Chain A
Amino acid sequence: MELCYYPGCTLKTTAKNFEIPALASVEELGHKMIELPRWNCCGTVHSLATDDLMHQLAPVRTLIRVLETGTDKVVTLCAMCYNTLKQTNRIILEEADKRDRINNFLDEEEDYSGNVTVLHLLEFLRDEVGFEKIKEKVKKPLKGLKLSPYYGCLLLRPEGIGIDDIESPKIMEDLFEALGGETVDSPFKIECCGSYHTVNDIEPVVERTKMIIDDAATRGADAIVVGCPLCFFNLDYRQKDVKARYNEFNYKPIFYFTQLLAIALGLEENICDFDEHFVDPRPLLQNKKLVLGGQKQG
């Protein structure tokens, strides 16, 4: 099955280690993600103002592009893209006056009526591939690996937009159990990582990151797994700043869920590009005999 795939800016640049294992794994599972031609920026944050339709235009244009490829379904990887595309689509579906005004403005495009389904890759894996099917294809079970899934905000909220239960999601837990791993439950898995504050004020991010990682460590997790490039940056790269402030802090590797999927499916380790990580996860994977002896020391 061919899937229309919307990457967004970050997946093509700083989060290639999220995208490449995703594309390879989906192919291994017998499907193909085909990048949407002429995609544009999603806007990254959904505009929450009722009188601001201008910022809904970029997502609407992208959704029109999806229809032009002859499909009504688009898959995303980045949590922010997923959220903005889906929230804008909801406005088009539910608020007729806004839909009409947007369509009147976009006179060079065909009218859009909200009939694209926006999916996150995790939803596709659960609902269309099925975790049972994935389990059959596992070549290297993640045996002995204790993972703490971290969802953050935009994969879950606001209500009606998320990929799973808003307070108690378990889609990643189910996936990693299908891949042969163990999961550790943390109450911080649905809390914010500090998000874009990481640009101008790292204080909130450093505190959040420390809290999230310390909690996962206390609960016995070997690593934290994410589905958002901004969560990844804050939880991985900002550990440097946490360590600078809290000397007793212990580093914890952070994974994208797609990297673990690729490893469990027996794909080449180098597609995961672990060199991009601040905290090198390879010693942990070597320890669990999931990858061969590595080059870089953590």
Chain B
Amino acid sequence: MLGSLEKRILSVLHKEKKITAREIFEKLRKEGMASTYVTVNTVLSRMHKRGLIKRTTEPYRGSFRYTYEYKDVKDELISDLLGDVNILFGEEGINHLKMKLEVEKDVKLPSLKEKVMPVIESIPSREKRISLSRNDAQNAIIKKVEDISGQNVLACYQCGKCSAGCPMVSLMDLLPNQIIRLIQLGQFSDVLNSKTIWLCASCFSCSARCPKGVDLAKVMEALRLLLLRKSTNYVELSKLDIDENLPQIALVSNFRKMTG
């Protein structure tokens, strides 16, 4: 979006044909704009860099100087502006704008609608971005995890203490705090496909240290159960080569945790 000085410079350029930085500065001062020559010069260079105005180099007193010209940049400006609307307000903001343009008859520039609509259509669709809303955060699967674990996953504020103390963390593809974050964002396919939930051996280090009282060991158990309760096995007994020296508690606990 344009700043106020940039807008004033554009209106000066719109009226004049070719003009130097000093001439622009003097015109602006006559209009009562409190600025300096250096500032005007800097803003002009920046606008030129962004492709908003035209600049030519011409010989002057044995050296050279820049002159500036107006350039029709409505399209760039519109797409710039809509990009900002998209970043600030997301899909809801764009949809609101679209609705306004469709409904209101007295849109000031009749051509505006024509210009804006194609740009709106070209904005990346929702799938390419992650957005967080109450609806995402409270979808059925999150509720299931919270019900099975008895934990409030939205309480986590991502301090990372769980990951810092996790003895298995070096082998994990997602860190324990990332698991919680992805659940908060409703990104369950990443979570349920990760090795992390199986590497967690319920040592309770994270549970003991979480400043928000989230028992992450219980969340991990709930995630495993989401898969195991569909009669899937993470460990296939028939494929195991069982060492006869293994203590019984190793076998029972492994099968309790890894088979459905």
Contact = CB atoms under 8 A, between A and B. Distances in A.
Interface of A: 8-10, 13-15, 41, 43-45, 47-52, 55, 78, 80, 153, 157-159, 166-167, 190-192, 194-200, 203-204, 207-208, 229-230, 232-233, 237
Interface residues of B, number: 38
Nearest to B165: A191
B248 A14 contact: yes
A10 B168 contact: no
A74 to B, nearest CB: 18
Contacts of B93: none
A13 B248 contact: yes
Contact of B171 (A198, A204, A230, A237): A204
Given A48-B202, A199-B235, A199-B240, A10 B148 contact: no
B245 interface: yes
25 contacts: A9-B249, A10-B247, A44-B256, A45-B253, A48-B149, A48-B218, A50-B150, A55-B256, A78-B249, A80-B249, A153-B201, A153-B204, A153-B205, A158-B208, A159-B208, A166-B208, A194-B167, A195-B203, A196-B201, A198-B246, A198-B250, A199-B246, A199-B254, A233-B247, A233-B250
B147 interface: yes
B149 A49 contact: yes
Contacts of A153: 201-205
Which of B147, B167, B171, B252 has most chain A Cβ within 10 Å? Answer: B167
B203 to A, nearest CB: 4
A13 B245 CA distance: 10
Interface of B: 147-150, 167-168, 170-171, 199, 201-205, 207-208, 215, 217-218, 221-222, 225, 235, 240, 242, 245-254, 256-258
Contacts of B170: 207
Nearest to A55: B256
A157 B203 contact: yes
Contact of A51 (B148, B242, B246): B148
Contacts of A229: 247, 249
A237 B247 CA distance: 11
A191 B202 contact: no
Given A48-B217, A50-B147, A50-B149, A199 B250 contact: yes
B249 A191 contact: no
A245 B248 CA distance: 26
